[in-house]
Amino acid sequence: MTDRPAAVISDANVLIDYISVERTLVLRLVSEHLFPIKLPRSILAEVDQLTQDQAEALGMEIIEETIDQIKEAAARGGALSHVDKLCFAIARDNQWAIWTSDKPLHKQCTSQSIPVYWGLQLMLDLCQAEKLDPEYALEAAQEIEKVNERISKEVVSEFRERLLSSNNK
């Protein structure tokens, strides 16, 4: 795991998923064992279920966007939302990764060589590092599938297969 970026920015959708299914342990474990989670203030403002104190208790660092990043994100057009553009600019400028379940943001990151992780992906890494119980991870994925239409049964099935194959190594 030495090729990891210095930090990851979590998109609002990932935070909402884990908070909605009461699996904030995953957020804390990512920040403790994989890399720091940087949380732009604008994303924190999008997540009604999370206060700054709660985010910091989970190991997240609240960061401020620069004027240039805000201006870049304000540009109209493209497939990304304002906040997704902001995430992208911050990650690019700091050489950080992005953690998201948003396909357009994932595609933009991939096309620009910005490291990007799908919403469930870091649970696999935690399981491989023996920091998260695979049963807990699978239950979390199944619960997220119930509350997030972007996480389909197929995504959870693929996650289960990857989880099982990584545990047999």
Looking up residue 17, the CATH number of its domain turns out to be 3.40.50.1010
Q: How confident is the model at residue 77 (pLDDT cuts 50, 70, 90)?
A: confident
Residue 34 predicted with pLDDT over 80: yes
- pLDDT surpasses 50 at 148: yes
Q: Find the angle CA(85)-CA(86)-CA(92) to the nearest 5 degrees.
A: 90
Cα–Cα distance measured from residue 64 to residue 136, given in angstroms and rounded to the nearest whole number: 33
142 within some domain: no
**Can you tell me the distance from the alpha carbon of 161 to that of 16, in angstroms, rounded to the nearest whole number?**
24
Domain count, the chain: 1
Tokens of 86: 């902001």
Residue 153 located in a structural domain? no
Residues of the domain holding 64: 8-119
Phi, psi of 99 (to 5 degrees): -115, 110
What confidence score (pLDDT) does residue 1 get? 45
2 or 12, greater pLDDT: 12
Identify whether 25 is part of a domain: yes
